[in-house]
Structure 1
Amino acid sequence: MNESLARYVGMSSEELIGRSFYAFLHPGDREATINTIESLSGQNPSAVTENRAVLPDGSERRHQWTHSALFDADGKLVEYQSVGRDITESRQSEERIRQLANEQRVILDSVAIGIAYLKNRKFVWANPAFERICGYERGEYQGQDTRILYADDFDYERIGREGYARIASGASYTTEVKVVRKDGTLIWMNLTGRAVNPESPADGSIWLFQDITDRKRSEEALRERTHQLEGLTRDLEKMVEDEIAMRVKNEQILVQQSKMAAMGEMLGAIAHQWRQPLNALGLIVQNLKDAYTYGELDRDYLERTVQKSMAQIQHMSKTIDDFRDFFQPDKEKIVFDTMQALGNVLSLFSAQLAANDISFRLTCHTHRRTFRNVADIAACADKTARGFRNEFEHVMLNLINNARDAILEKRGAGKAADQGSMHFDFFSGEGKIMIKASDNGGGIAPDVIGRVFEPYFTTKGPAKGTGLGLYMSKVIIEEHMGGKLFAENDAGGAVFTIELPQAGVKHG
């Protein structure tokens, strides 16, 4: 024995002399090792064994021994010589490598993505996922060119040109391409490749194969659906545009019809307004004839007569101007006084209301002032709104006409006192104007009050109403002026409430 063995087992050479070599062998390996050594002969003088060894300190190691038997000239055994080395770490490393290889094999066999190892664009190895995706049996693709996967030469050459140039630079290459399965069916594949060693192309490359056919079908279906939806959107936009155009046209027709109805009411009001001045002019002309007959027609009398006649004519001319202004369309929205706007409408109807024994009262609750004559109505900065003044006056005209008709209808049925009345109450605060228009005409029937703002709905009959007045009033207040208009009943009759955004400066 040499000193190396003594140091290895932790004993001196003297202590080892006389001890059996087999004493250091693991009991489980001892018999096999003895049999190997004793089987050595002149024809088979050497052998190698690998066994476990138990050292004096109790530790266990793995050894590899080379045994040689020496014979004399007569073939008689002289001695055995054994040379050993510790292979414990080597075997542990080999075992760990085997474990890692098994783990890698399990992983590669388990992943859903196909993996292939290629050299010179030929298959060397592929995992089960690749075989399943492409429809091949185990190993039947090995050694074949990757051209078997491509639907045409174009993609095969493109990837050979683009892909291999990129992986040679050390980068990865990814593309999407149609692939032919073994049975001839086409599928979409996402390919990703990378060189094993960019500096040595001969070492080959690793490629990942992911079936994206379902995704491609979904994308195609999505594109088709998107195309359909875009078509539907265009059709819907056209339908909306046509509907809006039709609505605008219908609304213009309704506005025109409403204006014509209002014009009829205005003509009736003008007739009442002109009746008194025409009677006065008739008397003036008659008096002029009498004055001539009785010799009273001098210069002074003629001048007084002309002045009286011109006063009546100017009153009639003003009525025409008011009528024209009422129907003159506004070109832009302005800030206007809602109380004075109502006063303008009442001035046109004052004679008609008086002729029907209907009074009115306008009250500004902010300043606690009440007006019963048109000429007395004063402006109030707290009651200013922004919009088309003529449209607002049109709304008030409709409310006055409805109140007058209700009062007259109730009076004709013998259900009301002789005196009719209309009240217009103005409030302001918190950035809003509120106008309550009420009358003593008996109110709106409960079963129809929810329909009074519908177009063409009327309770007056076709001879008296068009059913457009309240509908247009709601459109003007809510859509054109950003306010609200609603109806209810109180003890005396109908109450129409208008709410508008307040414009102008508040005054205390």
Structure 2
Amino acid sequence: MKPNKSLSRLFLVSFSLFLLLPLAAVVVIFLLNSYSSQEDSVSNRLNVIASSLTDRISSKLENPYKFLETVAEMTQEYGHEEPQMNSMLISGIKSFQIFEAIYILDSKGRILLFDSAYYKSYNKNDFIGIPLPEIATGTIADTKWSRAAISPLSNNMVVRAVVPFDGGYIVGDIGTDFISEMLAESVPDTNTVISITAPDGKIIASSIRSVTGSLANHPLLRHTGSFDPMMLKYKYMNEDRVGTIKTLKTPGWFLLYEQTAASAFVYFTQILTMNILSVVVLLAFSVFILFFIRAKLIVPMRLLTERSEMISQGMFIQFKDSEKGVFKELRTLYDSFEKMMITIDRREKELRDKEEYLRSVFDSTTTTGILIISMDDEPIIMDANVGTQIIFGYKLSELLGLPTAALIKELGNELSEMCKESRRTDVMVTKQLEMVKKNGLNFPVLCSVYPLFGSNGHIQGFICVCIDITEITRVQSELESEKERLDVTLRSIGEGVVAADKFGRITLVNSSAENILGQKYRFILGHNINEVLQVYDYETGKSLTERITDLSPKSNRTFRANMVTKDAGVITVFITSSAMTNNRGEIIGSVYVFRDITDRMKMEQELISRKKMLEDINKSLEKRVQEETEKRRKNEQMLFEQAKFAAMGQMISAIAHQWRQPLNALALYVQDIEDAHDSGEVDRNYLVSFASNAMRLIDHMSSTIDDFRNFFHSANSTEKVDVPSVILESLSLVTTQMRSQMINYKVQIKSGDKEQIYENRIPEDYTPINDITLNIFSSELKQVLLNIFQNAKDAIIDHRKSTGEKVGNLIITVTYKSDRLKIDIENDGGNIPEDTLSRIFDPYFTTKPEGEGTGIGLYMSKIIIEDHMDGLLVAQNTKTGALFSITLTYNN
């Protein structure tokens, strides 16, 4: 029995050396590697999240700061008193909603001009001259960003961005709430804290909003050298923590991202627990194996040894049937081991496939629906992400096993067909589908189907990515509707309208222009304007094409000319050319409005011939007087039409100015979609805000078209109107032009001891000063006022060229007297020469250069006031300019 004991002891030692000890070493090494790998994983995760947050916050702060630098450059060039500076501050508050206030300060830190999202609660003038303490005392005068402080306007936490320039500073108060919201959204659990601090440790924002004060003694702030650490382990507030610190380059702040060590390394703790349980199970299993081996291997080997000794001694004892079975069990053990290895290989492959599948699902964005679809003829949903649950309104348990046909609006399964096509071509298939939410609501979706390949290279299923495009579709539809409304308006105009870009390529042709030119829109679009508009001077026959297409930003020319057309040959037209400019005065295109007056010119020739005949015949003075009266009436009618045609050109120019700012703002909103998408900010709230802002601008542009369409429309009879309201409506059409030319205007309404004054604004809540109305054609009075306003604007611009002045003034005074109403329109654009003052109301008399004035505007204005309204229109010089006075009696 001693040899058997030695063999058993040898087996136990060998089992321990070659199995248990290596297995223990493997477990220890695995734990060490797991801990190291967990450290790397935690470090990478902390740095990725912190770096992403740093980039997003820096990006959010960079554009507002660049805007302040632009304001500083303009203030240094033009000064703070320019009206455009106030408009720019207002635009900045509206465009960058993180601004709570923007200040223009002098060199001593005193407020010269400011605007705020909260200023309606205060009087702006109360703040002028008040110094900002941090600037006046030099605390942050030489830095770009201040510490967090309480805003005096809103009582919110703000930081101040400072841009110095020669003679003062531009300061913007930026609320920190948006930073705190971004930090709070990025916190995965309650054991994580994210903070933004100034270089001195002052807390600017935190994921825990109630936290304020300073983190100057925080261990992370000791590592703010030339590099950002990957991960630090430290003890803070009697708690083990891990964290990282990143530098926000734009403001020079620090982002501190930290977690409790227990939360960060929870995965390693779970692995350690599982390994301990595994070791316990393994030890129990080893004891069982030792017992089994002893019974099935050691004992049979001892029997074999005994049998061998007996054979050597010449004795032979046959094995019992039970003893023979031991070799079969050894073979069974080998076979079981081999099957076990095959099963392990198959399970490892399944785990690798599952890992790739999980990686594909969770590497996708959570704001987009992602479905995993089976390869069946009628595919079902095998898995879905959170985005799918949000978009379709289903729970995950409801989606699993659901046929894809349940998500499609129409009968049939378009999603199944997309899967078949993707399987056939091995590429992505994308379509726009109408899909159905759980509540039955239909909505448009941009759907893409990708093949899901397994480790063997075969397709195992499909990944379906769904993007809700409801808001995008609605905005596109509304933009198309607005474009159609504009097209209908242009088609309803009797004059031909052609628009071209700054390179002279035609971009717009209305139906009237098609009829006049004898060419269809599709054959004209994209051609050079010089090739299409072949225009020659009516009197001299010289080509006017270069003159009407070579425009300066302030040009507005009207010609009577002959035009070559495709069908009608040469016709006579009145043509007006106007330049479209942006807010910087740069030409972005041109507009040409023309009307066929061939029949009118033939009528003029016929009238001339008849006049000669009447002079020859001249049988009766009464008949002669009647014919002359009729001739004068027709001439006046023709002049009236010419005046309306010229006013139409002025209205086109006004629309170009009215649309300039909304179009620029709309372009900024569209461009911001890409930045917002890259920053992960495109969610439903963002799209709702984008749609609301875009529709507000579109409604404003639509109302401008309605104003243009209704400007010259009047009823068939006179109507009772409030004259000041007509003046304010007319003034609103040229307000943008006045502002762009730096012309201030003031409207004064006086009735007895009552007085209303409006400076550089059209009131939204205008209330008549009294109940006195006049029975007139309001559109005719608008035409007169618009003509006088345009002449005043032109006079002020020409006067600046000789004097060098930058600002002009227009004063409109409405005075109610006992029996009449008087309208005084005064400008400071210089005096009218005395030798022309008495002739300015003559037909075809103009002081403007040839081609820039028709000489019929003031003539028709006098006829409208004096003949149509029984009033009086006179002009006189003042000390600095000219004064036009309109007197109307109440018995109109």
Q: TM-score, with normalisation over the residues of structure 2?
A: 0.30
- What secondary structure does 1:452 align onto? coil
Are residue 393 (structure 1) and residue 778 (structure 2) matched?
A: no
- What secondary structure does 2:636 align onto? helix
C-alpha spacing 1:379/1:304, structure 2 compared with 1 (3 Å): same
Per-residue Cα deviation, 1:114-158 (whole angstroms, up to 9, x for no partner): xxxxxxxxxxxxxxxxxxxxxxxxxxxxxxxxxxxxxxxxxxxxx
Are residue 473 (structure 1) and residue 846 (structure 2) matched?
A: no
Structure 2 counterpart of 1:344: 729
Distance across 1 between alignment mates of 2:867 and 2:730: 22
Distance across 2 between alignment mates of 1:379 and 1:327: 23
Does the CA-based 8 Å contact 1:485-1:496 persist in structure 2?
A: yes
* Larger RCO: 1 or 2 (CA < 8 Å, sep 6+): 1
Structure 2 counterpart of 1:304: 689
Structure 2 counterpart of 1:238: 623
| Matched ranges for 1:147-158 at <5 A | none
Tell me how far 1:234 sits from its aligned partner.
Answer: 8.1
Which one is further off, 324-333 or 419-428?
324-333
Per-residue Cα deviation, 1:140-186 (whole angstroms, up to 9, x for no partner): xxxxxxxxxxxxxxxxxxxxxxxxxxxxxxxxxxxxxxxxxxxxxxx
Structure 2 counterpart of 1:292: 677
Per-residue Cα deviation, 1:230-262 (whole angstroms, up to 9, x for no partner): xx9983333233222222211111111111111
Tell me how far 1:452 sits from its aligned partner.
Answer: 0.5
Residue among 849, 852, 857 paired with 1:464: 852
- What secondary structure does 2:855 align onto? coil
C-alpha spacing 1:383/1:268, structure 2 compared with 1 (3 Å): farther
Distance across 2 between alignment mates of 1:382 and 1:451: 37
C-alpha spacing 1:338/1:459, structure 2 compared with 1 (3 Å): same
Structure 2 letter corresponding to 1:304: S
- What secondary structure does 1:463 align onto? coil
Tell me how far 1:354 sits from its aligned partner.
Answer: 0.2
Tell me how far 1:416 sits from its aligned partner.
Answer: 5.4
Structure 2 counterpart of 1:114: none
- What secondary structure does 1:330 align onto? coil
Structure 1 counterpart of 2:741: 356
- What secondary structure does 1:292 align onto? helix
Does the CA-based 8 Å contact 2:714-2:778 persist in structure 1?
A: no
Structure 1 counterpart of 2:755: 368
C-alpha spacing 1:380/1:331, structure 2 compared with 1 (3 Å): farther
Per-residue Cα deviation, 1:258-283 (whole angstroms, up to 9, x for no partner): 11111111111111110000001101
Structure 2 counterpart of 1:380: 769
CA RMSD between the two structures: 1.8
Structure 1 counterpart of 2:638: 253
C-alpha spacing 1:445/1:378, structure 2 compared with 1 (3 Å): farther
Per-residue Cα deviation, 1:177-228 (whole angstroms, up to 9, x for no partner): xxxxxxxxxxxxxxxxxxxxxxxxxxxxxxxxxxxxxxxxxxxxxxxxxxxx
Are residue 262 (structure 1) and residue 647 (structure 2) matched?
A: yes
Once the two structures are aligned, what percentage of the paired residues are identical?
41
C-alpha spacing 1:380/1:236, structure 2 compared with 1 (3 Å): farther
Distance across 2 between alignment mates of 1:412 and 1:383: 42
- What secondary structure does 1:269 align onto? helix
C-alpha spacing 1:436/1:382, structure 2 compared with 1 (3 Å): farther
- What secondary structure does 1:371 align onto? strand
Structure 2 counterpart of 1:272: 657
Q: When the two structures are aligned, how many residues end up with a matched partner? A: 272
Distance across 1 between alignment mates of 2:696 and 2:711: 23
Does the CA-based 8 Å contact 2:871-2:887 persist in structure 1?
A: yes
C-alpha spacing 1:335/1:233, structure 2 compared with 1 (3 Å): farther
- What secondary structure does 1:447 align onto? helix
Tell me how far 1:424 sits from its aligned partner.
Answer: 0.6
Tell me how far 1:295 sits from its aligned partner.
Answer: 2.5
Tell me how far 1:503 sits from its aligned partner.
Answer: 5.5
C-alpha spacing 1:310/1:407, structure 2 compared with 1 (3 Å): same
Distance across 2 between alignment mates of 1:500 and 1:327: 21
Structure 2 counterpart of 1:323: 708
Structure 1 counterpart of 2:668: 283
Does the CA-based 8 Å contact 1:383-1:433 persist in structure 2?
A: no
Are residue 407 (structure 1) and residue 796 (structure 2) matched?
A: yes
Tell me how far 1:371 sits from its aligned partner.
Answer: 1.0
Tell me how far 1:291 sits from its aligned partner.
Answer: 2.0
Structure 1 counterpart of 2:889: 501
Structure index of larger Rg: 1
Distance across 2 between alignment mates of 1:362 and 1:422: 9
Structure 2 letter corresponding to 1:312: L
Tell me how far 1:380 sits from its aligned partner.
Answer: 3.2
Does the CA-based 8 Å contact 1:451-1:457 persist in structure 2?
A: yes
Tell me how far 1:419 sits from its aligned partner.
Answer: 1.1
Distance across 2 between alignment mates of 1:485 and 1:425: 15
Tell me how far 1:364 sits from its aligned partner.
Answer: 1.1
Distance across 2 between alignment mates of 1:342 and 1:416: 30
Distance across 1 between alignment mates of 2:700 and 2:770: 29
Distance across 2 between alignment mates of 1:503 and 1:242: 32
Does the CA-based 8 Å contact 1:339-1:379 persist in structure 2?
A: yes
Structure 2 letter corresponding to 1:371: Y
Per-residue Cα deviation, 1:313-336 (whole angstroms, up to 9, x for no partner): 010011111111112143111111
Distance across 2 between alignment mates of 1:330 and 1:239: 34
Distance across 2 between alignment mates of 1:416 and 1:394: 31
Structure 2 counterpart of 1:450: 838
Distance across 2 between alignment mates of 1:383 and 1:359: 28
- What secondary structure does 1:455 align onto? coil
C-alpha spacing 1:272/1:407, structure 2 compared with 1 (3 Å): same
Distance across 2 between alignment mates of 1:467 and 1:381: 37
Are residue 434 (structure 1) and residue 827 (structure 2) matched?
A: no
Distance across 2 between alignment mates of 1:263 and 1:380: 31
Tell me how far 1:384 sits from its aligned partner.
Answer: 2.7
- What secondary structure does 2:831 align onto? coil
Does the CA-based 8 Å contact 2:826-2:884 persist in structure 1?
A: yes
C-alpha spacing 1:235/1:269, structure 2 compared with 1 (3 Å): same
Tell me how far 1:383 sits from its aligned partner.
Answer: 5.5
Distance across 1 between alignment mates of 2:772 and 2:739: 27
Per-residue Cα deviation, 1:402-453 (whole angstroms, up to 9, x for no partner): 110000000012x252110100111121310011100000121111100010
Distance across 1 between alignment mates of 2:641 and 2:660: 28
- What secondary structure does 2:710 align onto? helix
Structure 2 letter corresponding to 1:409: D
Unaligned runs of 5+ in 2: 1-616
Distance across 2 between alignment mates of 1:275 and 1:383: 37
Distance across 1 between alignment mates of 2:619 and 2:837: 40
Does the CA-based 8 Å contact 1:420-1:440 persist in structure 2?
A: yes
Distance across 1 between alignment mates of 2:662 and 2:787: 26
Structure 1 letter corresponding to 2:758: F
C-alpha spacing 1:330/1:464, structure 2 compared with 1 (3 Å): farther
Does the CA-based 8 Å contact 2:873-2:886 persist in structure 1?
A: yes
Residue among 418, 433, 436 paired with 2:806: 418
Which one is further off, 347-356 or 286-295?
286-295
Tell me how far 1:289 sits from its aligned partner.
Answer: 2.4
Distance across 1 between alignment mates of 2:710 and 2:769: 22
Distance across 2 between alignment mates of 1:457 and 1:357: 28
Tell me how far 1:382 sits from its aligned partner.
Answer: 5.8
- What secondary structure does 2:835 align onto? coil
Structure 2 letter corresponding to 1:392: L
Distance across 2 between alignment mates of 1:331 and 1:419: 42
Distance across 1 between alignment mates of 2:878 and 2:834: 12
Are residue 335 (structure 1) and residue 720 (structure 2) matched?
A: yes
Does the CA-based 8 Å contact 1:382-1:428 persist in structure 2?
A: no
Structure 1 letter corresponding to 2:774: A
Does the CA-based 8 Å contact 1:382-1:502 persist in structure 2?
A: no
Tell me how far 1:499 sits from its aligned partner.
Answer: 0.4
Structure 2 letter corresponding to 1:357: M
